[in-house]
């Protein structure tokens, strides 16, 4: 018998990928947030909030009234002009810290227990050690700030190649950074894992889960395009499952479940968080795309339970 996935995880949706225009249209941001909180199937919202005080207050009120859990995803500071979380320029570094802390305050107001953060541009092999040291310092500052609110900071690894080209980077190096932060006495910094980044990282999802497991506190499920530079979703642009030229569909979601159960991220008595992070299908609406994703999710969940190895302990 296949148990409901809600016994094992809380399903989330990423606001700014489902509605990409929200990154530059704050009226649309607020309008679509009101729509998302009405969708009972999603218990978790991955999002960021405007920093303008009055609009932020309205959106926080919407979120708190909904009772949904927030996983806070600030804009990628490493792609924001004039910012870099491991810059050698003290002014750029300090500006980035202040922007991250401003988003952390927004996350706290919305009741978010966790905030994802990414590194910035990869400076190349020769400069990586110094950049990593500065990124560790950056995470320590954020972690100490988050501790005041009872929050966690999670590193999101990205590829260095055809997508974002970020410093962090391989899953093993992300885990190493977490260890270095914790050695500084900051213990509320961990990892999140994005299924759609694994092919771009040229990694195996089982191994990525194994490396992440001691520090893992959130996951994204999605896809990517890495073999066709002419595809509009080429790189880390979060295509929907099953897109022609994409890397992930139902079989890869089954592998996600298998790997997540193998390390105990998914287990009985612990409802982890798993967020759909994809753009809509070309030519289809957000609602139509969600319907397809939920069908594929249900199919993958049923297949996992029908195929799981005899004796596997997931109870």
Beta strands in the chain (DSSP E): 9-14, 44-47, 69-72, 114-117, 152-155, 189-194, 216-221, 272-276
Percent of the chain with pLDDT over 70: 98
Q: Which two tokens mark 47?
A: 């999002």
Encode pLDDT of 230-281 as tens digits.
999 999 999 999 999 999 999 999 999 999 999 999 999 999 999 999 999 9
What integer pLDDT is reported at residue 65 of this predicted model? Answer: 98
Q: Which two tokens mark 32?
A: 């679509």
- Please name which of 41, 99, 32, 87 lies closest in space to residue 62, comparing C-alpha atoms: 32
Mean predicted confidence (pLDDT) in 80-87: 96
Mean predicted confidence (pLDDT) in 31-56: 98
Are 113 and 158 within 8 A, CB to CB?
no
Instruction: List the alpha helices (DSSP H) in 125-249.
Output: 128-147, 171-183, 205-212
pLDDT band at 175 (very low <50, low <70, confident <90, very high): very high
Burial (CB count <10 Å: 0-12, 13-18, 19+), residue 74: buried
- Please name which of 79, 164, 142, 210 lies closest in space to residue 155, comparing C-alpha atoms: 142
- Please name which of 122, 126, 183, 119 lies closest in space to residue 155, comparing C-alpha atoms: 119
Cβ atoms within 10 Å, residue 11: 18
Mean predicted confidence (pLDDT) in 30-47: 98
What integer pLDDT is reported at residue 53 of this predicted model? Answer: 97
Are 250 and 241 within 8 A, CB to CB?
yes
Beta strands in 113-252 (DSSP E): 114-117, 152-155, 189-194, 216-221
pLDDT band at 308 (very low <50, low <70, confident <90, very high): confident
What is the four-CA torsion angle of 18, 23, 28, 29, rounded to 10 degrees?
80
Spell 255-270 as b/e; 16+ CB within 10 A means b: bbbbbbbbbebbbeee
Q: Any idea what the Cα angle at residue 11 is, between residues 284 and 36, rounded to 5°?
A: 50
pLDDT band at 157 (very low <50, low <70, confident <90, very high): very high
Mean predicted confidence (pLDDT) in 97-125: 98
pLDDT value at 315 more than 50: no
pLDDT value at 197 more than 80: yes
Mean predicted confidence (pLDDT) in 63-87: 96
Topology (CATH) of 5-307 = TIM Barrel (3.20.20)
Mean predicted confidence (pLDDT) in 104-123: 98
Q: Which two tokens mark 205?
A: 């999802």
What integer pLDDT is reported at residue 309 of this predicted model? Answer: 52
Please tell me the distance from the alpha carbon of residue 250 to that of residue 255, in angstroms, as a whole number: 9
* Reported pTM: 0.95
Are 63 and 33 within 8 A, CB to CB?
yes
Instruction: Give me the residue spans of the domains in the chain.
Output: 5-307
Are 308 and 314 within 8 A, CB to CB?
yes
Mean predicted confidence (pLDDT) in 282-307: 97
User: For residues 1 and 196, which has the higher predicted lDDT (pLDDT)?
Assistant: 196
Please tell me the distance from the alpha carbon of residue 270 to that of residue 260, in angstroms, as a whole number: 12
């Amino acid at each position: 018998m296949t148990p409901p996935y809600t016994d094992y995880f809380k399903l989330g949706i990423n606001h700014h990928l489902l509605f990409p225009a929200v990154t530059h249209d704050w009226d649309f941001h607020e309008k679509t947030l009101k729509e998302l909180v009405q969708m009972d199937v999603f218990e978790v919202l991955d999002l960021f909030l405007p920093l303008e005080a009055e609009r932020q207050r309205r959106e926080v009120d919407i979120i708190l009234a909904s009772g949904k859990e927030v996983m806070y995803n600030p804009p990628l500071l490493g792609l924001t002009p004039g910012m870099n979380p491991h810059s050698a320029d003290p002014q750029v570094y300090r500006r980035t810290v202040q922007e991250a802390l401003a988003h952390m305050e927004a996350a706290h107001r919305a009741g978010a227990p966790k905030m994802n953060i990414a590194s910035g541009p990869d400076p190349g092999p020769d400069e990586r050690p110094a950049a990593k040291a500065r990124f560790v310092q950056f995470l320590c500052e954020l972690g100490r700030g988050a501790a005041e609110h009872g929050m966690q900071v999670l590193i999101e690894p990205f590829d260095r190649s055809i997508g974002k080209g970020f410093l962090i980077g391989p899953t093993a190096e992300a885990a190493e950074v977490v260890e270095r932060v914790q050695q500084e006495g900051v213990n509320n910094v961990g990892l999140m894992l994005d299924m759609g980044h694994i092919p771009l990282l040229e990694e195996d999802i089982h191994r990525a889960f194994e490396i992440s497991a001691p520090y893992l506190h959130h996951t994204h499920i999605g896809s990517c395009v890495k073999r066709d530079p002419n595809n509009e979703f080429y790189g880390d642009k979060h295509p929907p499952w099953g897109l022609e030229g994409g890397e992930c569909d139902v079989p890869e979601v089954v592998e996600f479940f298998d790997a997540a159960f193998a390390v105990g991220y998914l287990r009985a008595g612990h409802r982890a968080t798993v967020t759909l992070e994809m753009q809509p299908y070309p030519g289809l609406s957000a609602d139509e795309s969600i319907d397809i994703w939920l069908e594929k999710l249900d199919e993958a969940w049923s297949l996992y339970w029908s195929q799981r190895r005899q004796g596997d302990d997931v109870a």
